[in-house]
Amino acid sequence: MSKMFSMTGRVALVTGASRGLGFAMAEGLAENGATVVLNGRDAKTLGECVKKLTDKGYKADFLAFDVMDEKAARKGVDDVMAKHGRFDILIANAGMTLRRPIADWTMEEWHKVLNADLTSCFVMTQQAVKHMRVNKHGRIIYTTSLTALRGRPGIHAYVAAKTGLVGMCRSLAAELAPDGITVNGVLPGYFKTVLNQALLDDPAFVEFVNGRTPMKRWGEPRELAPAAVFLASDASSFVTGQQIVVDGGMSSMV
């Protein structure tokens, strides 16, 4: 492991880490020495994920809570600090989507997606910053999305939330730099995860993504991890307010 990317002694909370991109990023941080606290809503699954990491000799723990529950989310951040004695890295990754034409959206659905994908990230950030300021060091990373750069029909609340996150990265970066806290995003294209199961089950859509991607394939979750490792480690000490696009080149091609 290069010393530049070492996170030994650092404590990270990764939301939505019971599978998919969150688990892959948590594993990447743990591989590089961080103690990772995995979050999701199901304690049993999280316990199994922690075992996968500790079996490899990594330091891992879990905390089950719903990021949409403001009180639980704030307590979750504080619990990490209380149990592990420091709070260095927040990867606010948990997210969801709904797909339907504009006419079919209810306001309840709109608010649910915005709460899961945007408001929860604000809440967790606000709480984490209190602890990060103690050490004048922090790394905040959001999982944004290619849909913050390119639209798709039907996922209006998701696109609004992810585009909002990209903007929030910039305003927080501007405010928090004097505290030694950086705020950046990893911006994935299409990856093979449960979130995309309905799309993966549609051969025409799978081919559409393959055709629109210079690398002619979907991403594997572990391919997002190195971007998160860079942004979470001291290697990115002069990088803030940015997005690292990991999309097989999709956003570069007309």
Ligand X SMILES: NC(=O)c1ccc[n+]([C@@H]2O[C@H](COP(=O)([O-])OP(=O)(O)OC[C@H]3O[C@@H](n4cnc5c(N)ncnc54)[C@H](OP(=O)(O)O)[C@@H]3O)[C@@H](O)[C@H]2O)c1
Min CB(150)–ligand X separation in Å: 11
Q: Is 28 in the site for ligand X (CB under 6 A)?
A: no
Q: Which of 58, 142, 158, 190 is catalytic?
A: 158
Q: Is 40 in the site for ligand X (CB under 6 A)?
A: yes
Q: Is 20 in the site for ligand X (CB under 6 A)?
A: yes
Alpha carbon 195 to its chain centroid, in Å, reads 13
Binding window for ligand X (CB under 6 A); candidates: 1-9, 89-97, 102-110, 124-132: 89-97
Min CB(188)–ligand X separation in Å: 4
Which residue, among 20, 55, 59, 60, has the nearest Cα to 38 in the 3D structure? Answer: 60
How far apart, in whole angstroms, are the C-alpha atoms of residue 185 and residue 187?
6
Q: Is 215 in the site for ligand X (CB under 6 A)?
A: no
What is the SS3 string spanning the chain?
CCHHHCCCCCEEEECCCCCHHHHHHHHHHHHCCCEEEEEECCHHHHHHHHHHHHCCCCEEEEEECCCCCHHHHHHHHHHHHHHHCCCCEEEECCCCCCCCCHHHCCHHHHHHHHHHHHHHHHHHHHHHHHHHHHHCCEEEEEECCHHHCCCCCCCHHHHHHHHHHHHHHHHHHHHHHHHCEEEEEEEECCECCHHHHHHHCCHHHHHHHHHHCCCCCCECHHHCHHHHHHHHCHHHCCCCCCEEEECCCHHHCC
Per-position x/- string for 65-84, each x denoting binding to ligand X as judged by CB under 6 A, each - no binding? -xxx----------------
Q: Is 193 in the site for ligand X (CB under 6 A)?
A: yes
- Binder among 14, 77, 94, 172 for ligand X (CB under 6 A): 94
Catalytic (active site) residue 158 = yes
- Binder among 6, 19, 222, 241 for ligand X (CB under 6 A): 19
Min CB(190)–ligand X separation in Å: 5
How far apart, in whole angstroms, are the C-alpha atoms of residue 26 and residue 3?
18
Binding window for ligand X (CB under 6 A); candidates: 52-60, 63-71, 166-174, 235-243: 63-71
- Binder among 32, 35, 93, 127 for ligand X (CB under 6 A): 93
Min CB(68)–ligand X separation in Å: 5
Count CB neighbours of 111 within 10 A: 12
Residues 104-163 close enough to bind ligand X by CB under 6 A: 116, 143, 145
Residues 171-190 close enough to bind ligand X by CB under 6 A: 188, 190
Residue with smaller CB distance to ligand X, 3 or 44: 44
Q: Is 96 in the site for ligand X (CB under 6 A)?
A: yes
Q: List, by residue number, the catalytic residues.
A: 158
Q: Which residues contact ligand X by CB under 6 A?
A: 15-22, 39-42, 45, 66-68, 93-96, 116, 143, 145, 188, 190-191, 193-196
